[in-house]
Amino acid sequence: DSGVTQTPKHLITATGQRVTLRCSPRSGDLSVYWYQQSLDQGLQFLIQYYNGEERAKGNILERFSAQQFPDLHSELNLSSLELGDSALYFCASSPSTGEGVGGYTFGSGTRLTVV
Amino acid sequence: GDSVTQMEGPVTLSEEAFLTINCTYTATGYPSLFWYVQYPGEGLQLLLKATKADDKGSNKGFEATYRKETTSFHLEKGSVQVSDSAVYFCALKIGNQFYFGTGTSLTVIP
C-alpha cells in the first residue's frame, strides 16, 4: 500500500456522462498530481494541486476539471465523456511543491471505461 | 522539448537472464532521472533514481547510471526473476514536471 488512495478502482459509464474520481494523498503530502495512462498516449500529466491551489497544468482537456479540498483530498471531474477518455487515471502525491529531486508516490489508479 | 525515449517492448526473458532496457532523454536543463515499475493491477512504484551525471541508482538488483555524454539511463539487472515481470517506465524530472517514457513490458518465464 503506497498510502495514496484512489476510488473507485473501476468505473464503467456511457458516452456523454460525467464522473468524479477521488484521490486521498499520502499522509503529510501537500501536492496531488493527476495522470492519464492510455495505450496509445502513455502516461500524460494532467494537473497538479498544491495545498488547495492549482500549481501546474498539463494536457488536460477543457471537459476535465479538478480541485483539492481543505483536507487535501482531490477530485478529478470528467464530463461529456467520449470513448477516447477510456483510460487508467492515476493520482500521485508529494510532500511539497514537487520541485527538486524527489519522486512522487502513486496510487493504484481508477480504470475508466466509456461505452 | 523535454522527453524520454525507451525501448519498445514487449521483452520476454528466461529466469536468470541478463536484462537491459534502454532509455535516452532530451532535456533543456539538468534533469533527475528515474525508473518506475508497474506490477499488474497496481500503480507506479519508484524503483531507483539518479540526480546528477555519473550517479548510479540501484535497488532490488536493478541498476542504472546517469550518462550525460550519451543522454542515457539504461536499466540493467544481472539475473531476472519471474517476480520481475512488470512494466518499466523511464522518466525525467525538471522542476516539478515529470516526463515519462511509454513503458517497456517485461515477462520473465521460468
Q: Which residues of B touch A98 (CB under 8 A)?
A: 95-96
pLDDT of residue A76: 98
The whole-angstrom separation of Cα B106 and Cα B85 is 5
Q: What does the pLDDT look like over A12-29, one tens digit per residue?
A: 999 999 999 999 999 999
Its sign, for the CA torsion B10, A40, B70, B91, is negative
From the CA of A77, how many Å to the nearest CA of chain B? 20
What cell numbers appear for A7 in the block?
476510488
pLDDT of residue A78: 98
From the CA of A109, how many Å to the nearest CA of chain B? 6
Confidence of residue A4 (pLDDT cuts 50, 70, 90): very high
B5 sits in which H/E element: strand B3-6
The whole-angstrom separation of Cα A25 and Cα A109 is 12
Residue B83, classed as helix, strand or coil, is: helix
pLDDT of residue A38: 86
Note down pLDDT in tens along chain B; length 110 residues: 888 999 888 999 999 999 999 999 999 888 999 999 999 888 889 999 999 999 999 999 999 999 999 999 999 999 999 999 999 999 999 888 888 998 999 999 99
Partner B, chain A 48-107, Cβ-Cβ below 8 Å: 48, 55-56, 90, 92, 97-99, 101, 103-107
pLDDT of residue B29: 83
A99 pLDDT more than 80: no
Q: Which among A42, A56, A108 is the nearest to B42, CB-wise? A: A108
Q: What is the average pLDDT across A81-98?
A: 92
**Residues of chain B that touch chain A, judged by Cβ-Cβ distance less than 8 Å:** 32, 34, 36, 41-46, 49, 51, 89, 93, 95-98, 100-103
Question: How many residues are present in chain A?
Answer: 115
Q: What is the average pLDDT across A37-50?
A: 87
Q: Is the peptide bond before B10 cis (omega within 30 degrees of 0)?
A: yes
From the CA of B80, how many Å to the nearest CA of chain A? 24
What cell numbers appear for B29 in the block?
536543463
pLDDT of residue B73: 98
The answer to whether residues B24 and B71 touch, using CB atoms and an 8 Å cutoff, is yes
